[in-house]
Amino acid sequence: MNKGVERVQAVFNCLKENNLTLASFLAFAISSVFFCHEIRAVENTMLFSTTPSREADIVREWILRSSRNIYEAEIRDLLRKETNLRMNASAMQMEQFEVARMRNLKDIYKTKAPMLWDLLLHLLNADSRTNKTRVVYPIASVAAATMSATENSDSTEGDHPITYDHNEALHLFEIKGVVIASILIHSSNEKCNALQVRNGLYLAASNASKSIRQWAAHTGLSVSPSSIANARDSLIKGQKELNCMLGATKVLNLAYDNCDFKFTVGQPTDLKDRTFESITTGLFLNMHNGVLPEDLEYAEYIWERHPNNEESTNPFPVGIFYRTWNRFED
C-alpha cells in the first residue's frame, strides 16, 4: 500500500478512535477559536499564495465543486412552481404581476436561496483595494453595519469626502442581486420570467423603441416584444372582466376624466389646420368589502345638497355643513 494512503488511513483511524468523523473534525476546527491560526494558514495557502501547490489546488477544486452543487441546488429550488416565479404572458393576471415587485422577489430569493443570495451580495460588495468586502452587507443574517467616519476617510473625490449612505448602498446592492438572480433562473428555465415580464410591460408603457425591447430580451432583462404584447392584451382582458364583475355588484365608484388634445401644425392653412380630439377615461374604484347597495341609498341625496356641488338645487347652509363636518373630524 502507498505510504501516503497509509498515513491518511492512520489519521482516519485516529479520528474514529476519538469518536470524530472528518466532517465533525473540520467543523470543530473551523468554528473553534483555538485553531484559528491553523485555519487561517490553510486559507492563505489556498487563496493568497504566490507559489502553486498541488495540495492547495486539489482542496480549492473540491471546495469549488461543492459550492457549485450547493448553488445549483438552490437554483433548482427557485425553479419550482411553488415559488410563483412562472408567468404565462398569454394568461397574465394582475395578482401575478404584483409578485414581481423587487421587494417580493428579494424576500423569495433570501428565503429559498439564502447562500446564493449571500454570495451575490458579497460579490457585488467586493472592494478591490483591500481584497475585502466593505461593511455594508457582511452576512445574510446580519443587518447592514454603519461605517464610521475614520473607516470612510479614504473615500475622497478631489478635496471633498464622498458621503457613503449605507442604507442606499444596501438597497442598490439588493436591486442588483435581484436582477442577477432573476437572469440566472430565467436562463435555466425561460418560464421563470417574473422580473422579465414586469420589465417588459414597463418598457412598453414607457414607449421604448422596439430595438430597446429586443436588446433587453437578449440580455435576459425582459421578455420578447411579442410576449409583451400578449401580456398587455391578457391584462386588459382580465381587467375588463373584473370591471364587469364590479358593475354587477352595484357597489363601486366610477370616476370620469375628460381629456382634450389639441394637435397643432407648423404652418396652418385652409386645408390643414390644427385638430382636436377629446376622450373620456373611467377609473373604477372598488368599495370596501362591507359596503352594501343599501348603504349608498342616500349618496345621491347628500350630493344634491353638498356645498361643493355647483348644480345643487337645495343646498344645506354652508355654516351648518361645516360645523357638522368639523364635529366629525373632532
pLDDT band with cut points at 50, 70 and 90 for residue 151: very low
Residue-level pLDDT at 69: 93
Three-class DSSP category at 286: strand
Is 148 in the same domain as 170?
A: yes
Distance CA 1, CA 147 (A): 57
Q: Which residue has the higher pLDDT, 297 or 192?
A: 192
The residue with cell 341609498 is: 297
Quick check: is 99 in a domain?
yes
Quick check: is 212 in a domain?
yes
Give the residue-averaged pLDDT of 11-19: 89
Is 90 in the same domain as 173?
A: yes
Q: What is the pLDDT of residues 195-226, one digit of tens each?
A: 998 898 889 888 888 899 899 999 999 998 88
Share of the chain above pLDDT 90, in %: 17
Q: Please, what is the average pLDDT of the chain?
A: 77
Is 108 in the same domain as 139?
A: yes
Task: Note whether 84 and 191 are within 8 A (CB).
Answer: no
Q: What is the pLDDT of residues 66-92, one digit of tens each?
A: 999 999 999 999 998 888 888 887 777
Q: What is the pLDDT of residues 33-49, one digit of tens each?
A: 888 888 888 888 777 77
pLDDT band with cut points at 50, 70 and 90 for residue 149: very low
Is 120 in the same domain as 209?
A: yes
Could you say which of 230, 249, 268 is where a domain stops? Answer: 249
pLDDT of 150 above 70: no
Identify the burial level of 277 via C-beta atoms within 10 angstroms of its C-beta, where 0-12 means exposed, 13-18 middle and 19 or more buried.
exposed
The residue with cell 473540520 is: 26
Query: Which set of grid coordinates corresponds to residue 102?
Result: 423587487
Give the residue-averaged pLDDT of 172-198: 90
Other Cβ atoms less than 10 A from the Cβ of 108: the count is: 19
Residue-level pLDDT at 301: 78
Q: What is the pLDDT of residues 266-310, one digit of tens each?
A: 666 666 666 777 888 887 776 766 677 676 677 777 777 777 787
| Full residue range of the structural domain in which residue 262 is found | 250-329
Identify the burial level of 166 via C-beta atoms within 10 angstroms of its C-beta, where 0-12 means exposed, 13-18 middle and 19 or more buried.
middle
**How many domains would you assign to the chain?**
2
Strand residue runs (E) in 135-229: 156-157, 160-161
